[in-house]
Amino acid sequence: MINSEISKVLATMRSISSEISPQPKIPETADTQFSTVMKQAIDQVNEQQQVATRMVNDFQMGTGDASIAEVMVATQKAGLAFQAMNEVRNRLVEAYQEIMNMPI
C-alpha cells in the first residue's frame, strides 16, 4: 500500500517536473552506464540548487532582475528535484538491502 502511494507521488513529481523543465536527452546506447546516468542526474539537481540559491541571494541584495515569483519557482523546482533524487536514493538503498538479505 505504501509502495503504491510512493509510486503515485513519484509519477506526479515526474509529470510536474517534465512540465516545468524538459529532461536532458541521454543517448541511448549500449555503452551508457548506470553510474554515468546517476552522475548526470545529480549534477543537474546540483545545478538547479545553485541557480535557485543565486537567484535568492540576488533578490535579497536587490541586484537581480528576477521577480519574487521567478525566485520562488526556481526554489520549488530545486526542492522538487532534490526530493525526487532523495527518493531514488532511498529506493536504491532498499533494493541493495533486499539483495544483500537474499539467501545464497
> Domain limits at 89?
34-104
Does 4 fall in a domain? no
Choose between 21 and 12: higher pLDDT. Answer: 12
Does 15 fall in a domain? no
d(CA 10, CA 6) in angstroms, rounded, equals: 6
Q: Is the pLDDT of residue 32 over 90?
A: no
Cβ–Cβ < 8 Å for 53, 71: no
Burial of 52 (0-12, 13-18, 19+ CB in 10 A): buried
Choose between 71 and 35: higher pLDDT. Answer: 71
- What is the percent of the chain with per-residue pLDDT over 70, rounded to a whole number? 72
Does 103 fall in a domain? yes
Does 2 fall in a domain? no
Choose between 97 and 25: higher pLDDT. Answer: 97
- What is the percent of the chain with per-residue pLDDT over 90, rounded to a whole number? 52
**Which positions ≥6 away from 49 have C-beta within 8 Å?**
78, 81, 82
- pLDDT reported for residue 96: 92
User: Number of folded domains in the chain?
Assistant: 1
Q: Is the pLDDT of residue 15 over 80?
A: no
Does 57 fall in a domain? yes
